[in-house]
Chain A
Amino acid sequence: MVRSQDVLPFAKESTTRLLPWIVGVMVYLAAVMMAGAMLLAGVAADWNRDLTGSFTVQIPPAEKKSDGSEKARVDRVIKLLRETPGILKVKAIPAKETAQSLEPWLGANFDADDLPLPRVVDVTLDRTKTIDLTAVGEKLQEAVPGAGLDSHEYSRDQILSLVHALGALAAVVIALIGGTCVSAVVFATRGGVAVHKEVIEVLHLIGATDDYIARQFQRQAFRIALIGSLFGAIVAVLTLFAIARFVTGLDAVLLPTPQLAFWQWCVLALVPLFASFIVTSATRRTVLRTLRQML
């Protein structure tokens, strides 16, 4: 039994030698970029959910903290909020806890009594009911002059705008990566067709169709793309694990834990396959277009 092999001598071809590396780097960048975009979108969704279902009330500091007037003001606010329909939970943040949140900036040894810190009340809303926050704000003003309600709307809008902008930027970068990869494939394929011109002419003259010749290139392109993209995907996964481990190890409460859901891992797993498909179809189209110019 005589074994058949590739009709075109791809093994000796230099035009595609760098292609697996190019595809690998492109897949790596695209996968990391996509993971980043998905993480950011997830974090933004969490923030949005948290902020939508809550608001905070700030009670300005009393002139004298020791006379008990501050506690009375806080109690009035809590009582009013608990009597308001649509509110699930009311929690006054202890003054000590508010002061602790300033430690990263002021250090651990400052005296909170020296600072005019407001008292903060966290309010969780019942999502099944609607509530008129303007009316609540007015009632708070009447009960405790100077008390303000923050529905986080401004912060939420700012964050969502930022996330949307970053998402759009990620999409543009991924599109650019795809475009660069396709350009590299087109140039390499044109070079390959030129290198194998003599054999291609023979194949044409013995009756090979353009499709038959294109399939030879396609098979080779798929092999190259699969090797390159799997390599890129593996390095991307290792990078994501390294970033996750680094962030988890940080003592930074403001940073969310980067964690991808199962479906997001599935999306990332599709990146090398999609890249292989793009490379293969770009190769096929380029070969067919080039062959059309030959007799």
Chain B
Amino acid sequence: MSDINFTLEPGSFHFVTGPSGAGKSTLLKLLYLACRPSRGFVNLFGREVTKIPSHELPQLRRRIGVVFQDFRLVAHLSAFDNVALPLRVSGGREEVIQKHVTELLSWVGLADHLNARPPTLSGGQQQRVAIARAVIAHPNLLLADEPTGNVDDTIAVRLLYLFEELNRMGTTVIIATHNESLVSRFSHPVLHLEDGVLELRGAMASS
């Protein structure tokens, strides 16, 4: 990626599209602080990430929910414990965790799989666990890398409604996908990335 410059307003909803290898995942990695840019600047929540000391990164990361392309669920933990992780690492009370996690897993259709471990779940079910883990702590920024890749259209639309619901509550949402038909069903602006160049399609963002 080079010469990419864009600003997202807090509370906005964007799709990031582009062919495989265009850099969608790299862009998200920079945003969820998995790596730092070798050149240039990334400003998150008013802070320049290249200048943030390591010990302050956890606080910033807790404001970001991520749905990884490969889910990255912890294999030996149950679906419940995977979803509960963001709350536990931030010191949440166990009774609150029990209530919220159970509710959210029921909402994504996994009420009967609270104790199931990821390897025993289907790809679609794992994806829903990953999404539940990303949204459980009501993040300010939600980043999702191909979040609907393993689910049917009905579930995909339902999950996007969940993201929209979070967006209505103030969460900034960025979804990387190459599912053009799904993108076209929603009226959110699109950041199209191709050959290292970012193009804005739609309104609300300035590039």
| A residues in contact (CB < 8 Å) with B | 1-2, 4-5, 7, 9, 11-12, 198-199, 201-210, 212, 292, 295
Kindly state whether residue B15 has any CB partner on chain A within 8 Å: no
Size band of the B side of the interface? 35 or more
Q: Is the CB of B115 within 8 A of A2?
A: yes
Q: Is the CB of A206 within 8 A of B35?
A: no
**B85: which of A7, A201, A210 is its contact (CB, 8 Å)?**
A7
**Chain B residues near A4 (CB, 8 Å)?**
81, 84, 88, 94
Given A206-B133, A295-B54: 9 more A-B contacts, CB < 8 Å = A2-B78, A4-B84, A4-B88, A9-B76, A202-B72, A205-B32, A205-B34, A207-B62, A207-B137
A7 and B115 in contact, given A206-B86, A207-B89, A209-B58 (Cβ under 8 angstroms): no
**Chain B residues near A205 (CB, 8 Å)?**
32-34, 61, 66, 72
**Chain B residues near A1 (CB, 8 Å)?**
98
> CA of A55 to CA of B69 in the docked complex: distance in angstroms?
89
- Distance in Å: Cβ of A21 to nearest Cβ of chain B: 25
Kindly state whether residue B74 has any CB partner on chain A within 8 Å: yes
> CA of A199 to CA of B73 in the docked complex: distance in angstroms?
8
CB-nearest residue of chain B relative to A199? B74
CB-nearest residue of chain A relative to B86? A206
**Chain B residues near A210 (CB, 8 Å)?**
55
> CA of A4 to CA of B32 in the docked complex: distance in angstroms?
26
- Distance in Å: Cβ of B182 to nearest Cβ of chain A: 25
> CA of A204 to CA of B74 in the docked complex: distance in angstroms?
13
**Chain A residues near B137 (CB, 8 Å)?**
207
> CA of A102 to CA of B191 in the docked complex: distance in angstroms?
104
**Chain B residues near A9 (CB, 8 Å)?**
74-76
- Distance in Å: Cβ of B146 to nearest Cβ of chain A: 17
CB-nearest residue of chain B relative to A202? B72
Kindly state whether residue B80 has any CB partner on chain A within 8 Å: yes
